[in-house]
Amino acid sequence: MFKFEYPVVLYTLLALPLAWIIVAMRAHLLLSALNITEKQKKITNIEKNAKKKYIESVQLLKKKIVFRGIFWSFGFIFLVIAAADPSFGSRLETMQITGNSVAFVFDVSYSMNADDMPDGTTRLYSASKYAYALLSRMKDASVSVVLAKGSGVLTVPQTDDFTVIQSLLENLSPTLLTSAGSNLGAGIETALRSFAKNTSLSAAIVLFTDGDETEETLKAALENSLEQGIPVFIVGFGSVAETEIITGDGERKAKTALREAKMQKICEDATKQVKRRHGDSFNIKASYVNAVNIGSALTVLNGVLFSNEKTQSGSLTLYETKPVRRQSFFAFLAIICFCAGLFVMRFNAKRTLLKFSGVFLCALLFTSCSEKNKASFNILKGVINWVQEDYQEASADFLEAREISVQQQDSMAKIYAQYGLAVSYLMLNEKNATLNQLENLTGNDIPPLVRFGAFYNSGIVSYQQGDFNKAAEFFKQALLIDNSQINAKINLELAMSQIEVQSKTAQSELQPFQQTEGSSMQDTIFSMMQENDNKQWKSEPQEKSDILDY
């Protein structure tokens, strides 16, 4: 399908007929002047051969003006199309996935206090235990936590330290947020904002809820998430039979139930809507599972995590279908047409054949060499994207260059492509993936410049991970290759000083934190969170709301 990023630009084509009228009027004046000169020449009885050549030159000029107008018209059309940023067709683009990033969204509305789970516990308690079980299987994943009630609040940003998350799971309660009602869509939107931009982590959202909404925002939020390529898994809690609960005001009562059929339909409708816009090849979807069904947790885990066992380097290569942008193609056609318009006015048949042959031979030579140098071209593209700070695109270019160099058995191109891939991962903050790529670039057969960069950047990553002994060793190896690098010397001294600090700290005895009665670290964290939530609501104009807080 032919699509334009800026279709309004196409209205510029309406100026083309006016341009043709102006050009025709100017050409008519020019040719009229030439015809007057011709009559004057008839009066002076010029020789017939000279007169014949003159008339032929006037006719040739007419044709040149017409052809120039045609070429320039097409050039203008192609230029406008290029400005509209067209795209048609699709291509498979490699995408390197090096880890998992998951957002947990908990519905903490008062309906989740209903104690209608099979074991007699509340929905919210069961949701916390369910999430706790998922966390125990999510090794090396990064997880954030969002609480959803009348609004969505990011409680724990993306982290691989699950201690804080587990502490929060033990204290989930509707009282953590003061906003009334149930707005699941706001929770999804907040979760989307918790993911880092331009990262090679595989993102997914898990929503723990009973589906009882006071604001119907879930479907729109699901579509937005799928449009961004992030799947959503909804885990349902509760019984489909109505249960009576006390609302947030402590006085009124409301009936609530697991809205299973409603959530299944919302997931199906959102998936179909997005697939209708992107085609059947689009495989990102929203899914619903019932928490009490056997194997539901495994279904969620298989959906949000990829298996490292299938790869040797701890990463997974996926292929994503993307539309092909044709802006440069139409811009090239526009340049060709404008040049052809200039060329046709100076056309000389006797001189043209030799020039055209030379251009054709150059094009043929370039075409024959392009396949051989494809890996180098991809490396060059990766370097340009890296300099422009588009590290995601740069990593894709370097990955493709490495695959091509392996096929063509070009060892040198493979080395530079792998090094480019490593430094791209470094800028994306993918530390483990960076080390995996750099460890194969330290052999004696590697060019000294690349070896130095491999040791130096490995030292940087190890220092950031807190492994100062390894960092110091990497910096030493780098200096053995090139001892003139001041930055490597400074970093080695910093690593050695950190090793000394660690040794002193290890000798001192640390006293454990003692909790006093009625006070705990969790209470402090949650009171601060509740205070922030109160500030958020106090900063907005407060009107008396009739929303039933459940």
pLDDT grade for 91, boundaries at 50, 70 and 90: low
Please state the rounded mean pLDDT for residues 310-316.
42
pLDDT of amino acid 519: 41
- Per-residue HEC secondary structure of 81-116 comes to HHHCCEEEEEEEEEEEECEEEEEEEEECCHHHHCCC
The residue-averaged pLDDT of 173-192 equals 88
User: From CA 470, how far away is CA 142, in angstroms rounded?
Assistant: 24
pLDDT score of 347 more than 60: no
State pTM to two decimals.
Answer: 0.49
pLDDT score at 546 = 53
* Band of pLDDT at residue 320, cut at 50, 70 and 90: low
Q: What is the pLDDT of residue 99?
A: 62
- Looking at residue 115, its amino acid is D
What span, in angstroms and rounded, lies between the C-alpha atoms of 211 and 257? 8
pLDDT-based confidence at residue 550 (cuts at 50, 70, 90): low
Q: Name the band, by pLDDT with cuts 50, 70 and 90, for residue 205.
A: very high
Q: Which of 23-27, 66-70, 72-76, 124-128 has the lowest mean pLDDT?
A: 23-27
Confidence band of 373 (pLDDT split at 50, 70, 90):
low
Q: Residue 488 above 60 pLDDT? A: yes
Res. 207 pLDDT band, cuts 50 70 90: very high
Looking at every residue in the chain, the average pLDDT score rounds to 76
Higher local confidence (pLDDT), 41 or 233: 233
Q: What is the average per-residue pLDDT within 15-21? A: 85
pLDDT digits (tens, 9 = 90+) for 273-309: 888 877 777 778 899 999 999 888 888 888 877 533 3
More confident residue, 217 or 55: 217
Q: What is the pLDDT of residue 54?
A: 59
Q: Where are the domains of the chain?
A: 3-89+327-347, 99-314, 367-504
Find the mean pLDDT for residues 359-372: 44
pLDDT at 250 over 90: no
Integer angstrom CA distances of residue 414 from 98, 390, 400, 404, 421: 20, 21, 10, 8, 10
CATH class for the domain made up of 99-314:
alpha beta
**In this predicted structure, what is the pLDDT of residue 504?**
67
- CATH homologous superfamily of domain 367-504? Tetratricopeptide repeat domain (1.25.40.10)
Strands 232-236 and 286-290: parallel
Strands (DSSP E) along 219-299, which ranges? Answer: 232-236, 243-246, 253-256, 286-290
* Cα 296–Cα 298–Cα 301 angle in degrees, nearest 5: 115
Q: What mean pLDDT is predicted for residues 372-398?
A: 76
| Beta pairing class for 86-97 and 141-148 | unpaired
pLDDT (tens digit per residue) in 437-484: 888 887 888 888 888 888 888 888 888 888 888 888 988 888 888 888
Q: What is the pLDDT of residue 208?
A: 95
* pLDDT band, residue 539 (cuts 50/70/90): very low
